[in-house]
Amino acid sequence: MPATTILSGIRPTGNLHVGNYLGALQNFVQLQDRHECFFFIADLHALNEQFDAKEKYAQVLDTAATFIAAGLDPSRSTIFVQSRLPAHAQLAVTLANFIPVGYLFRMTQYKEKAGKQAQGNANAGLLYYPVLMAADILLYQPTFVPVGDDQDQHVELSRDIAGFFNKRFGPTFGLPKTLHTETPRVMSLLDPTKKMSKTLGGNHCLNLDDPPAVITKKLSRAVTDTGDGTGAGAKNLLLLLEHFADHDTAQRFQRAAKEKTIRYADLKQTLARAISDYLKPIQEKKTALLANPDHLEELLAAGAVRADSVAQKTLSAVFQKIGLRPGD
Ligand code: TYM
């Protein structure tokens, strides 16, 4: 029997980048060997920023294909699309009643994303986002939630909500913990003081779909330092090399950085080749999967059935506790 339950989600916002991969997806693949895993495409979470309705469905399928191409195995992991399970929205609406709104206004991501807009103009989905995320998590009662460190505060809020609920209605939810990789925050190529994120723009990110020429070009523009490997940009590139190149190559550049003999043009070229080689089989597999959308849909439908059987149990228990269903 698998030891623990793991759950995580990724928003379908178009191309995933190497930050999503090293902070989350690669870890999902490793975890599925040892645990009961639920991984989902968080499509309801992708509506609070600008989006094109004509593209959204394709992005959902694209994310599903990326999950599987990167190594998630639908026979070992339960892979599903959030909006297809009404239990997520039902639990979110329920849990919203047990968390003071002040907790939501304090969320860093809310403040960052809503901050530029006039008071009251941010959409309510942005404020409510962590409640939906708490519902996503608590429905499956996971021990661990593997995420990058930008999601820590949200996972913490799901613990707060679980705690408030348990205190009032008796033990119902376990308290989930975050699980980080060694790279919980991959930085932007152009502004290494910020995390790599799609909202910063295309040249800040290396996307999992980027062809070799694009990877080479983006890396050639990446910020480094004056030659000692201590600048945030250089450190970020050395970190990427550690994860995408072989051990000896990564060590060679680490040594050169310490000895202040590092040549960043070489580093960038070597890194571009390593990342391109690493991504090639993932890209090929993804193209093959997307050529057969019916098959992908079948996999997602099977995942939804499996996930829903777990989600419904939690939801029934919650509804019983709060008196919306008859007790035992
Ligand atoms: P999302 O879609 O923004 O990102 C998906 C995952 O990638 C991680 N990540 C990074 N890791 C390292 N370095 C980076 N530069 C980087 N950028 C992103 C994120 O931390 C995340 O793990 N709210 C979530 C989706 C979600 C969720 C959930 C996750 C919805 N419900 C329930 C876990 C459990 C999000 O927006 O991730």
For the chain, what is the HEC assignment?
A: CCCCEEEEEECCCCCCEHHHHHHHHHHHHHHCCCCEEEEEECHHHHCCCCCCHHHHHHHHHHHHHHHHHCCCCCCCEEEEEHHHCHHHHHHHHHHHHHCCHHHHHCCHHHHHHHHCCCCCCCCHHHHHHHHHHHHHHHCCCCCEEECCHHHHHHHHHHHHHHHHHHHHHCCCCCCCEEECCCCCCCECCCCCCCECCHHHCHHHCCECCCCHHHHHHHHHCCCCCCCCCCCHHHHHHHHHHHHHCCHHHHHHHHHHHHCCCCCHHHHHHHHHHHHHHHHHHHHHHHHHHHCCHHHHHHHHHHHHHHHHHHHHHHHHHHHHHCCCCCCC
Question: Which amino acid does the sequence have at 289?
Answer: L
Residue to mutate, 151, 152, 190, ligand 1, most ligand atoms under 8 Å from C-beta = 151
User: CA–CA separation, 128 vs 30, rounded Å?
Assistant: 31
- The response to whether residue 262 sits with its C-beta less than 6 Å from ligand 1 reads no
Task: Return the closest-CA partner of residue 21 out of 207, 177, 155, 191.
Answer: 207
The 10 Å Cβ neighbour count of residue 116 is 8
Q: How far is the CA of 24 from the centre of ligand 1 (A)?
A: 7
Task: Return the closest-CA partner of residue 307 out of 1, 13, 8, 4.
Answer: 8
Task: Return the closest-CA partner of residue 244 out of 275, 201, 272, 265.
Answer: 275
Asked if the model's pLDDT at residue 124 lies above 80, the reply is yes
- Position 122 scores a pLDDT of 87
Residue to mutate, 150, 155, 191, ligand 1, most ligand atoms under 8 Å from C-beta = 150
Give the residue extent of every domain in the chain: 5-184+293-321, 198-287
Residue to mutate, 20, 21, 51, 153, ligand 1, most ligand atoms under 8 Å from C-beta = 20
Q: How far is the CA of 178 from the centre of ligand 1 (A)?
A: 11
The mean predicted confidence, pLDDT, of the chain is: 95
End-to-end C-alpha distance for the chain, whole angstroms: 29
Task: Kindly give the number of the ligand 1 atom that is closest to the alpha carbon of 150.
Answer: 20
Q: How far is the CA of 145 from the centre of ligand 1 (A)?
A: 10
Asked if the model's pLDDT at residue 236 lies above 50, the reply is yes
> Distances from the Cα of 182 to the Cαs of 22, 23, 146, 171, in angstroms?
8, 8, 12, 33
Backbone angles phi, psi at 279, to 5 degrees: -80, -20
Q: Measuring from atom 37 of ligand 1, which residue has the nearest CA?
A: 10
- Position 239 scores a pLDDT of 96
Task: Kindly give the number of the ligand 1 atom that is closest to the alpha carbon of 136.
Answer: 32
pLDDT band at 117 (very low <50, low <70, confident <90, very high): low
Strand-pairing partners, residue 77, are 37
Task: Kindly give the number of the ligand 1 atom that is closest to the alpha carbon of 129.
Answer: 23
Asked if the model's pLDDT at residue 188 lies above 70, the reply is yes
CATH of the structural domain 198-287, one choice from 3.40.50.2000, 3.40.50.1970, 1.10.240.10, 1.10.10.10: 1.10.240.10
Catalytic residues: 113, 195, 198
- The response to whether residue 24 sits with its C-beta less than 6 Å from ligand 1 reads yes
Q: How far is the CA of 261 from the centre of ligand 1 (A)?
A: 36
User: CA–CA separation, 19 vs 149, rounded Å?
Assistant: 11
User: CA–CA separation, 157 vs 110, rounded Å?
Assistant: 13
pLDDT band at 228 (very low <50, low <70, confident <90, very high): confident
pLDDT single digits (tens) 136-150? 999 999 999 999 999
Q: How far is the CA of 241 from the centre of ligand 1 (A)?
A: 22
Q: Measuring from atom 22 of ligand 1, which residue has the nearest CA?
A: 147
Task: Return the closest-CA partner of residue 113 out of 203, 182, 47, 212.
Answer: 47
Strand-pairing partners, residue 194, are none
**In CATH, which superfamily holds the domain spanning 5-184+293-321?**
HUPs (3.40.50.620)
Average pLDDT over residues 35-42: 98
User: CA–CA separation, 283 vs 82, rounded Å?
Assistant: 24
Count CA atoms closer than 13 A to 201's CA, side-chain side. Answer: 5
pLDDT band at 14 (very low <50, low <70, confident <90, very high): confident
- The response to whether residue 289 sits with its C-beta less than 6 Å from ligand 1 reads no
Average pLDDT over residues 224-242: 92
User: CA–CA separation, 74 vs 70, rounded Å?
Assistant: 12
User: CA–CA separation, 139 vs 309, rounded Å?
Assistant: 10
Task: Return the closest-CA partner of residue 274 out of 219, 194, 192.
Answer: 219
The answer to whether 219 and 234 have CB atoms below 8 angstroms apart is: no
Q: How far is the CA of 226 from the centre of ligand 1 (A)?
A: 32
Q: Measuring from atom 26 of ligand 1, which residue has the nearest CA?
A: 9
- Extract the tokens encoding 206: 């290396």
- Position 1 scores a pLDDT of 44
pLDDT single digits (tens) 288-322? 999 999 999 999 999 999 999 999 999 999 999 99
Q: Measuring from atom 18 of ligand 1, which residue has the nearest CA?
A: 20
